[in-house]
Amino acid sequence: MPRGEMLTVFTYDIRSDRRRRRVAGLLEDAATRVQDSVFEARMTRARAEALSQRIASELGEGDSLRVYVLAEYGEARSRVYGDGPPMEADEAYWLF
């Protein structure tokens, strides 16, 4: 994992379809959707904070955003079961 980046999990509960679509669009540009309202990304603390603030500005009454950061130890103990997309790999790759 590049220095300073952490696995960050964003999850939301948004009542309005319109706001939900806007928030999903912001997250789709920066992260990988792993469930309907759950996204994962490797990013720096500053980038996660900026994205969180941008999303928070879209929230309405009764909406919520939760952001979880997994340190290396916590990530090593995390598992994915079933058909869900795997956690983003921490290494770059090339497609030819």
Decide if 60 is inside a domain.
Answer: yes
Residue 59 near residue 14 (C-beta atoms within 8 A): yes
Residues counted in the chain: 96
Residues 6+ apart with CB under 8 A from 37: 11, 12, 13, 14, 20, 24
Q: Domain range holding 62? A: 5-76
- Quote the number of domains for the chain: 1
Does the residue 26 lie in any domain?
Answer: yes
Residue 96: inside a domain: no
The band of 73, judged by pLDDT with boundaries at 50, 70 and 90, is: low
Residue 81 inside a domain? The answer is no
Is residue 44 in a domain?
yes
In a domain, 33, yes or no: yes
Give alpha helix (H) positions in the chain: 17-30, 45-56, 72-76
Q: Does residue 84 lie in a domain region?
A: no
28-62, pLDDT tens digit by residue? 999 999 999 999 999 999 999 999 999 999 999 99
* Any domain includes 67: yes
CATH number at residue 28: 3.30.70.240
Say what the pTM is.
Answer: 0.79
